[in-house]
């Protein structure tokens, strides 16, 4: 059974794809069967720029444990970085 639960976010950033660096305008986060990994389900993140065509995409497949660790590390980096820059 496919779970294909998807969340979309408008974002501002850059990603490096097969053609080099591209502006990233959207993140699509979903929990479903992976394309490449050999596990039943993964958290998949597609960083895309729909206006630049199909090649403007950076895809990531993560195990649940890796996804949770990444979320914790992102939040920690934002906290520490924000605090360090506030003190400067």
On the question of pLDDT at 88 being above 70, the answer is no
pLDDT (tens digit, 9 = 90+) per residue, 32-70? 999 999 999 999 999 999 999 988 999 999 999 999 999
pLDDT value at position 1? 56
Measured CA to CA, the distance from residue 83 to residue 76 in angstroms comes to 11
pTM for the whole structure = 0.85
**Residue 39 phi/psi, 5° resolution?**
-105, 165
């Amino acid at each position: 059974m496919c779970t294909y639960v998807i969340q979309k976010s408008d974002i501002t950033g850059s990603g490096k794809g097969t053609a080099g660096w591209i502006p990233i305008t959207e993140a699509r986060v979903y929990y479903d069967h992976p394309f490449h990994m050999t596990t039943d389900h993964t958290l998949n993140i597609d960083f895309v720029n729909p206006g630049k065509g199909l090649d403007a995409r950076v895809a990531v497949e993560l195990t649940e444990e890796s996804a949770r660790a990444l979320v914790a590390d992102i939040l920690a980096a934002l906290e520490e970085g924000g605090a360090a820059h506030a003190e400067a």
